[in-house]
Structure 1
Amino acid sequence: MGFAINTNNDALNTYRNLTGVQNSLSKSLEKLSSGLRINQAGDDAAGLTISTQLASQVSGLQQASRNAQDGTSLVQTADGALTQAQSILNRMRDLAVQAGNDSNSPAARTAIQSEATSLTAELARIGSSVNFNGQNLLDGTTPTFKFQVGADGNSQSQIAVDLSSSNLVSIASKLNVGGSGTSLATTDVAGKTLVFTSTNNTTGAVNTSAKITVPASSTTTGYTDLQKTQDAVSALNGNSAFSANFSASVYSTTAAGVTTYSVAVTAKDGGAVTQTSAATPTGTQATLTGAAASNVGKLAFDSAESAQASIIAIDAQIAAVSTARANIGAIENRFNNVVSTISTSVTNLTAAKSRITDVDMAQEMVNYTRANVLSQAGTAMLAQANSLPQLALKLLG
């Protein structure tokens, strides 16, 4: 190669290498000072896309965990009120049992009625006043609460809390004023296989029970019509296929001094019971026409018979509250599991993001040291390369 002055190839090559080393040194300083491997899109375009998605998912899951904890707080608030309601109903049942004795004077029965009425009013007050963040829980105004417990926008990321069966205002109303339902003769219920259907007047929802076989009443001498009716009512309420959507009560009417007992059926969602059918021995369905029944389940303590009917009515509501509490307990456990699962997911996703975005400090210090040494050496060599053209002066001497 010739000896040129205008173009110093050695200096240019040294400068090119030094520029690359300086860029590497700058990158190492940036990574070491931030602790991140990816500081701008050019550092790792694919890694940046993945890490951004992971960061969004982690942030969403953390908020979902807080949502689930809010859900736990809500159902715990509802359960606390239902616990008190159950205590009230138990006390009302004790009063009904006490009123079942004919040793009670009219004044004693009046006192029992007064306390039961007061307890029913308190039951309604609890239902109307219990709220979470300004939203009533137990009065039926908001039967379902939805909670976002996942980071995605699909149905699997939501949990619905159904409090429709926890309507204390409705329970108190049934015990105080009485609901409306369909009255069926005990002979049409006892010993028959039945199917119940109801239609909600507001939502149009249709509920149909499975076939229910009600045991025949005892034929023992002295077994009264009331006792036969009570047996039928207990058998219906004790059937999960029936009690999921319906409630049975002893219903009585008095005409010309004669009291007739029948089975009153009401729908828990407030719908009208539109048909009751029974399978005949040949297997066909025979439609039963029931009469309208008013004040179904209303508590009365003026006689031993009324007290027994009240016990059955209260038992039905105690069972309803117990079922509601069981559902709430299951939802609470579900929320707790959600929080635990989210915690594990956040830990694993954060670790995955860290492996993509966080710099390995030890490795980067090795790179920095190497680049620093090469930078100093390159600077020294560039100075030497720049001094080489000065050798041409010796040719002039």
Structure 2
Amino acid sequence: MRINHNISAMTTQSSMYKINRDMSKSLERLSTGLRINTAADDAAGLGVSENLRTQIKGTSQAMRNAQDGIAAISTAEGAANEISEILQRMRELAIQSSNDTLTSTERAYTNQEYQQLISEIDRIAEVTNYNGMKLISSSGTNANERFGIGGTGTATGSALWIDANSTYGNDSITISIDTLTTAELGGGSGNTLNNTYLTSQTDANDAILALDEAIDSVNTMRSNMGAFINRLEHAINNLTISNTNQQSAESLIRDADFARE
């Protein structure tokens, strides 16, 4: 008796195995929406896709960090704006007190308001903070903040990271936010604001000099903060474009083609 192999059946079985395997893979891709679910699906493609995913997560967090930086600077700028308004009022009082027509009693009344405004400037400087980080007070440790455009390496001190691919220090943005207490304002050619009074005509004239310097300092700082905000906004725009392109590239590599499946 001769036993023959059923070649047709074996071929059919092999074909069915391949069809079932391919169908299972297709169902997996359709259910997950991904062309690459395991390294075996496309080893090279998986490596590229994972690298892109790392960059996407980095740039996404970088954009949030840059927005935090803008929020922090905007908080400081808002306080500086109010201090600027107070300085203008103090200058009005100083000019009024420098007038020969005022008596010493009237100057004393003017000086009372003047000293209260000095105290208010110091109060604003002390309470202005972002997430507990004091921004314009010398009692804080964050008067000069570094906003880095890098996401690897070890950061020391307070830092807000903006980008995701550079090493710390190579692409950092150092934002200098000056201390705006009355002990720091003025003083370039005379007394600092906390040592100015309006009790006499001479004192009033000295106060005017200190106030002019203080106003210039605040204006310069506000201008710098505005420039930094614009710079961070451009950084966010660039990161947004980069993030979109990275997501598009990652999608082309990893996502399933539903029409093909």
Match of 1:236 in 2: none
Instruction: Give, in angstroms, the shift of residue 148 of structure 1.
Output: 0.5
1:102 counterpart residue number: 100
Deviation at 1:125, TM superposition (A): 0.8
State, as a whole percentage, how many aligned pairs show the same letter.
Answer: 38
- Residue type of the partner of 2:227? A
**After TM superposition, where is structure 1 displaced by more than 4 Å over at least 4 residues in a row?**
none
Distance 1:362 1:157 in 2: 44
Alpha-carbon shift at residue 116 of structure 1 (Å): 1.2
Instruction: Name 1:361's counterpart in structure 2.
Output: 258
Query: Superposition RMSD on alpha carbons, in Å?
Result: 2.1
Aligned residue in 1 for 2:175: 161
Q: CA deviation at 1:99?
A: 1.5
Q: In structure 1, which of residues 142, 151, 171 is the aligned counterpart of residue 164 of structure 2?
A: 151
Q: Distance in 2 between matches of 1:28 and 1:174?
A: 70
Q: How does 1:1-397 map to 2 (within 5 A)?
A: 5-140=3-138, 141=140, 142-145=142-145, 146-155=159-168, 158-163=172-177, 165=178, 167-169=179-181, 172-174=182-184, 248-250=188-190, 295=191, 298-364=195-261
Aligned partners of 2:95 and 2:208 also within 8 Å: yes
Superposed CA deviations along residues 163-189 of structure 1, whole A, max 9, x for unmatched, are 1x2x122xx1256xx86xxxxxxxxxx
Report deviation, 1:324: 1.0
Deviations 1:4-51 (A, max 9, x none): 525333333332333223222222222122211101101110110111
How many residue pairs are counted as aligned between the two chains? 244
Answer whether contact 1:89 1:314 (CA < 8 A) is retained: yes
* 1:42-100 C-alpha deviation (Å, 9 max, x unpaired): 11101101111111111121111111111111111111111110011111111111112
Q: What is the CA–CA distance in structure 2 between the aligned matches of 1:64 and 1:335, rounded to whole Å?
A: 11
Q: Structure 1 stretch 69-78 or stretch 295-304: which is displaced more?
A: 295-304
Provide the rounded CA distance (Å) in 2 between the counterparts of 1:96 and 1:56.
Answer: 59
Q: Letter of the aligned partner of 2:97 in structure 1?
A: A
Distance 1:296 1:340 in 2: 41
8 Å contact kept, 2:104–2:200: no
**Whole-Å separation in 2 of the counterparts to 1:47 and 1:62:** 22
CA distance in 2 between counterparts of 1:117 and 1:135 reads: 27
SS class of match (1:355): helix
Q: Is the 8 A contact 1:102 1:303 kept in 2?
A: no
Question: What secondary structure does 1:161 align onto?
Answer: strand
Q: Write 1 or 2 for the structure with the bigger share of strand.
A: 1
| Ranges in structure 2 where 5+ consecutive residues have no aligned partner | 146-158
> What TM-score do you get using the length of structure 2 for normalisation?
0.85
Q: Deviations over 1:354-391 (max 9, x none)?
A: 00001111112xxxxxxxxxxxxxxxxxxxxxxxxxxx
- TM normalised by structure 1 equals 0.57
* Matched letter for residue 323 of structure 1: T
Q: Which ranges in structure 1 are unaligned for 5 or more consecutive residues?
A: 180-247, 251-294, 365-397
SS in 1 for 2:160: strand
Q: Give, as a single letter, the amino acid of the residue that structure 1 aligns with 2:175.
A: V
Query: Residue 152 of structure 1 aligns to a residue in which SS?
Result: coil
